[in-house]
Amino acid sequence: MNARPRIAVTGRIPDAGLDILREAGELVAWDSLDVASPQQVHELVRGAAAAVTLLTTKVDEAFLDAAGAQLKVVANVAVGYNNIDVAACARRGVLATNTPGVLTEATADIAMSLMLMATRRLGEGERVIRSQAPWQWGMFYMLGSGIQGRQLGIVGMGEIGCALARRARVFGMDIAYSNRRPVSPSIEAELGAQLMSMDELLATSDVVSINCPYNATTHHLIGAAELAAMKPTAYLVNTARGAIVDEAALVAALQGGEIAGAGLDVFENEPAVHPGLLECEHVVLIPHLGSATIETRAAMARLAAHNAINVLSGIEPPTPIPVPAE
Ligand code: GLV
């Protein structure tokens, strides 16, 4: 009889994580790059003491029922955890964990890249070359907007927001932010960051970057009214979660010239993208690449594995998800 705990991994993760998990228990891992269906996930997690999940895995009552009462931990290989019903986990004594920290720099790089790509029309320029359309250097050809001396408004000043601010400062931008609470005075001073109400931030920023978590409070935080409140010369960047922005309202604002452009790494109904966005030349669209570096994904897998095995060993995991007050 084998007493090693069953550990289920619901999607492909780097070996750096699998090797740690294999040491700690009987590993059953989804072995395909295709996303497992809920039924396939439920089959996989049946009888598991630990489930290591991806952001494409829905951890809801049905998942928890399928796993069974021996489940102790759900270790998400992502910083965002809107795929997990954390309260439902807590009610059953299941601890949920995520992977903050290790993907901060990679995600901030992508936000900075999107800001540069959108303001300097890089996607549009690349499409011209690839289409082999005739082009010629010209004094007024494909002019974008400079970001030096402009204000970056960061919505959600957590680790990724701060890492983006650090980059933007080097590019000569001024930093405004809106957050549930002010960041520490030392971080404010380091970043020269000014706390603003959402209204003030939207009305005064040249680029607005979304860096807050997605939850019931932030669903459609940026809708028609917020987009209308932005400057017509301003850009929106989203590397957080698609549904923080009302995508249909964004398409209308872009088509109506209410804002100058956008850079998006995430989409409301991912992997579907609103067809209106595809038609907007002044939008940069990339497929959820925030944490997509070899090093970052390995670090995420390692952290998730440590979270899982700590819980199995009765030790506090490095990065537990706070349980919401019910
Ligand atoms: C990616 O989107 C993550 O939440 O880690």
Distance 287 CA to ligand 1 centre (A): 12
Q: How confident is the model at residue 190 (pLDDT cuts 50, 70, 90)?
A: very high
Radius of gyration of the chain (CA): 21
Residue nearest to atom 3 of ligand 1 (CA): 78
Residue nearest to atom 4 of ligand 1 (CA): 80
pLDDT value at residue 309: 98
Mean of per-residue pLDDT scores for the chain: 97
Q: How confident is the model at residue 276 (pLDDT cuts 50, 70, 90)?
A: very high
% of the chain exceeding 90 in pLDDT: 98
Ligand 1 pocket mutation pick from 13, 103, 241 by most atoms within 8 angstroms of CB: 103
Cis amide prior to 271 (ω within 30 degrees): yes
Q: How confident is the model at residue 3 (pLDDT cuts 50, 70, 90)?
A: confident
Q: At what angle do helices 15-24 and 294-312 cross, to 10 degrees?
A: 20
- Of 121, 150, 167, 241, catalytic: 241
Residue nearest to atom 5 of ligand 1 (CA): 78
Q: Using the atom order of ligand 1, give the atom closest to the CA of residue 76.
A: 5
Contact criterion met (CB below 8 Å) for 173 and 225: no
Question: CA torsion angle for 248, 253, 256, 260 (degrees, to 10)?
Answer: -140
- Of 26, 159, 270, 282, catalytic: 270
Estimate to the nearest angstrom the gap between the alpha carbon of 165 and the chain centroid.
16
Q: How far apart are the first and last CA of the chain?
A: 41
pTM, entire model? 0.96
If you classify domain 6-102+294-312 with CATH, what class do you get?
alpha beta
Paired residues of 252 in beta bridges: none
Give the burial class of 15: count Cβ atoms within 10 A of its Cβ; 0-12 exposed, 13-18 middle, 19 or more buried. exposed
Residues with CB under 6 A from ligand 1: 55, 78-80, 103, 290-291
- Can 124 be counted among the known catalytic residues? no
Side-chain-facing half-sphere of 132: CA atoms under 13 Å = 0
Domain ranges of the chain: 6-102+294-312, 104-285
Kindly report, residue by residue over 4-30, the tens digit of the pLDDT.
999 999 999 999 999 999 999 999 999
Kindly report, residue by residue over 146-158, the tens digit of the pLDDT.
999 999 999 999 9
6-102+294-312 and 104-285: identical CATH topology: yes
325 pLDDT above the threshold of 90: no
Q: How confident is the model at residue 1 (pLDDT cuts 50, 70, 90)?
A: very low
- Can 288 be counted among the known catalytic residues? yes
- Can 219 be counted among the known catalytic residues? no
- Which CATH code for domain 104-285? 3.40.50.720
Kindly report, residue by residue over 121-166, the tens digit of the pLDDT.
999 999 999 999 999 999 999 999 999 999 999 999 999 999 999 9
Contacts 24+ apart (CB under 8 A), 164-167: 164/108, 164/111, 164/112, 164/209, 164/211, 165/191, 165/193, 166/108, 166/191, 167/108, 167/109, 167/112
Distance 280 CA to ligand 1 centre (A): 26
Helix (H, G, I), strand (E, B) or coil at 35: coil
Q: What is the mean pLDDT of residues 263-284?
A: 98
213: its two tokens:
């978590």
Q: Using the atom order of ligand 1, give the atom closest to the CA of residue 99.
A: 5
Helix (H, G, I), strand (E, B) or coil at 40: helix
Distance 198 CA to ligand 1 centre (A): 24
Kindly report, residue by residue over 221-242, the tens digit of the pLDDT.
999 999 999 999 999 999 999 9
Question: CA torsion angle for 216, 221, 225, 229 (degrees, to 10)?
Answer: 160
Q: Using the atom order of ligand 1, give the atom closest to the CA of residue 241.
A: 2
Cβ partners under 8 Å of residue 94, min gap 6: 64, 71, 72, 73, 74
